[in-house]
Amino acid sequence: MLDYPKYIARTLHLARLGCYYVAPNPMVGAVLVNKDGNIIAEGWHKQFGGPHAEVECVRNYELGIKNYEKLEECTLFVNLEPCSHYGKTPPCAKMIIEKGVGRVVVGLLDPNPLVAGKGVQMLRDAGIEVVVGVMEKECRELNKRFICLHEKKRPYVILKWAQTKDGYLDKFRVESLEFREGPLVISTAWTKQLVHQMRAENMAILVGSGTALADNPGLKTTRWPGRNPIRVLLDRRGRVPMNSKIFSDDAETIVYRDNTEWQYVLGDLAKRGIHSVMVEGGAEILNMIIQDGTWDEMHIEVSDKALGEEGVPASKVSLPLQPKQIIDGHYIYELRGRE
Ligand code: AOF
Ligand code: ZN
């Protein structure tokens, strides 16, 4: 009897290697195990539009020097149900049947309606033994963005901000025709890097016109490998000029002017196939979303320094007793929204 969770854990590890390159597809890894429990091949989905994990894995097996095992005695492990549809690539379930793999162990069923159980059915109809639901919680966590898009028809929402010890996002800034004061710097080089990692992990980044005007951010991923997120700007009054950095050629920018209502924006982003959005401010937008209640995670960085005067207040949320991490003396909190 094979130790199923052990191999599914390995598929999750492999799947994660595609992290910055597969969106909006899920991260998927696969391992082929012989009857003695040895892994004889591995593969993962490397790039959007590219071969799926199962195809990579079986191909690696066939190209390897130990390709003399009987596949009917082998088990293929995969963290997500093999697909059953013709998309950018042919169905993995069909390939698995044709290669004559004996058994398939699936971490989680694919929530994509094009697949949703049909992959497993195809395999079973062909007489292949299929086990479903191993380390399901971990499998869901890895692909929470992809799952959210398919199950809730909206992107996964992460709210992110940094505040001073006394609860401010920014100072009240001096602004005149000749002089505009820069933003209060709260993050450190290291915590900034983590923000850029989040930009690479999520498909879109959203700000309001206040932030775009005051900070003129480019919202690119420069301190971490991976793609620049798609930029989303809520600009009801059409205030942000076209020469702002948010409109640079580095990434696509979607602007909402006529309707900036949160549920509408989420629905529209979903229609565009965007599976995740991180919200980087400012205060007005963050408060609006917290009021609405549709968000999945909050990442809050609390600096060890106080502003010491009146400033722009951060949203009032009750923080957990323990921060998730402490970096450079800054407390990093992570909260989950309601399921
Ligand atoms: C798998 N293995 O490695 C991936 C799967 O457009 P396509 O052909 O790439 O299909 C994308 C869909 O296939 C995606 O939405 C998800 O349902 C599934 N992704 N499935 O068996 C993989 N990446
Ligand atoms: Zn597939």
pLDDT band, very low/low/confident/very high, at 101 (cuts 50, 70, 90): very high
- pLDDT score of 78 more than 90: yes
- pLDDT score of 253 more than 80: yes
Atom 22 in ligand 1: which residue has the minimum CA distance? 52
Exposed/middle/buried for 175, CB within 10 Å: 0-12, 13-18, 19+?
exposed
Atom of ligand 1 nearest to the CA of 110: 17
Could you read off the pLDDT of 138-190 as tens digits, one per residue? 999 999 999 999 999 999 999 999 999 999 999 998 777 788 788 899 999 99
Nearest Cα neighbor of 99 from 133, 132, 66, 67 is 67
Atom 4 in ligand 1: which residue has the minimum CA distance? 52
Distance 76 CA to ligand 2 centre (A): 13
**Tell me, what's the pLDDT at 65?**
77
Atom 2 in ligand 1: which residue has the minimum CA distance? 52
Residues lining ligand 1, Cβ inside 6 A: 25-26, 28, 45, 52-54, 80, 82-83, 87-89, 92, 110, 112, 115
Could you read off the pLDDT of 163-172 as tens digits, one per residue? 999 999 999 9
Distance 313 CA to ligand 2 centre (A): 47
Atom 17 in ligand 1: which residue has the minimum CA distance? 112
Could you read off the pLDDT of 38-69 as tens digits, one per residue? 999 999 999 999 999 999 999 999 998 778 88
Of 54, 81, 201, 280, which one is the catalytic site residue? 54
Task: Say whether 252 is catalytic.
Answer: no
Measured between its terminal Cα atoms, the distance across the chain in Å is 35
Strand order in the sheet with 156-163: 253-256, 230-234, 204-208, 276-279, 156-163, 297-302, 330-336, 325-327
For residue 76, the ligand closest to its alpha carbon is: 1
Q: Which whole number is the average pLDDT over 24-36?
A: 97
Question: Strand pairing of 325-327 and 29-33?
Answer: unpaired
Tell me the domains of the chain and their CATH numbers. Answer: 4-144 (3.40.140.10), 153-336 (3.40.430.10)
Atom of ligand 1 nearest to the CA of 56: 3
Site to probe by mutation for ligand 1, drawn from 55, 83, 110 as the one with most ligand atoms within 8 Å of Cβ, is 83
Distance 218 CA to ligand 1 centre (A): 32
pTM of the model: 0.94
Atom of ligand 1 nearest to the CA of 86: 8
Contact between 282 and 208 (Cβ < 8 Å): yes
Distance 79 CA to ligand 1 centre (A): 12
